[in-house]
């Protein structure tokens, strides 16, 4: 990047930092992107990935972008590496969904979810799963045809994996 591009990014950073905190939160990033003409608003899950992928843990506990992180994000968006990273992560999530969907119903039942989680983490003896199970079930969004507990559609599973990705289940 040349000096003018860095100055432009610095000015954009200052404009986006609506509260003057020295960092850009997800809500500030969303508002700023929304203000740009001819820009498609990314889904909240993509905004969360932007923040979590480029923020530094030592700056506001990784919940905001400082200038260096913002600069890296802008570069990644411009050169396409951010989009490629999201697509690759989404492919992995889809493959995991298909692996966990043992009955190939295009949904994951609570039983399939619990079995898969325990198989992935056998040393924990289900402690992690048990502690987080009520929160995990909150993501289930599909009523099964024959009744019973809600199941996970791919969209619900993707939201759950995004929450795991940003550390909400650690």
HEC assignment per residue over the chain: CCHHHHHHHHHHHHHHCCCCCCCECHHHHHHHHHHCCCCCCCCHHHHHHHHHHHCCCCCHHHCCECHHHHHHHHHHHHHCHHHHHHHHHHHHHHHHHHHHCCCCCCCECHHHHHHHHHHHCHHHCCHHHHHHHHHHHCCCCECCCCCCCCEECHHHHHHHHHHHHCCCCC
Residue 61: pLDDT band with limits 50, 70, 90: confident
Residue 36: pLDDT band with limits 50, 70, 90: low
Domains in the chain: ranges and CATH: 3-79 (1.10.238.10), 87-165 (1.10.238.10)
Q: Is residue 94 scored above 90 in pLDDT? A: yes
Which of 83, 101, 87 lies closest to 156 in space, CA to CA?
Answer: 101
- What the block records as the tokens of 33 is 């992107």
The per-residue pLDDT for 127 is: 54
The per-residue pLDDT for 40 is: 61
The per-residue pLDDT for 163 is: 80
Q: What is the value of pTM for the model shown?
A: 0.71
| 109-143 confidence digits (pLDDT tens) | 999 998 888 887 655 555 566 778 888 888 889 88
Which of 148, 144, 146, 140 lies closest to 113 in space, CA to CA?
Answer: 140
Q: Is residue 152 scored above 90 in pLDDT? A: yes
């Amino acid at each position: 990047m040349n000096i003018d591009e860095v100055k432009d990014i610095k000015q954009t950073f200052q404009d986006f930092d609506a509260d003057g905190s020295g960092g850009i939160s997800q809500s500030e990033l969303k508002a700023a992107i929304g203000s740009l003409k001819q820009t498609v608003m990314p889904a909240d899950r993509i905004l969360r990935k932007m923040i979590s992928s480029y923020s530094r843990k030592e700056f506001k506990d990784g919940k905001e972008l400082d200038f260096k992180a913002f600069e890296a994000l802008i570069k990644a968006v411009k050169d396409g590496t951010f989009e490629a990273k999201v697509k690759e992560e989404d492919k992995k999530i889809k493959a995991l969904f298909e692996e966990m969907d043992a009955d190939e119903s295009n949904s994951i039942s609570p039983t399939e979810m619990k079995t898969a989680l325990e198989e992935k983490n056998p040393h924990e003896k289900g402690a992690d799963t048990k502690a987080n199970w009520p929160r995990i079930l909150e993501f289930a969004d599909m009523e099964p045809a024959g009744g019973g507990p809600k199941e996970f559609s791919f969209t619900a599973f993707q939201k759950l994996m995004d929450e795991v990705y940003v550390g909400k289940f650690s």
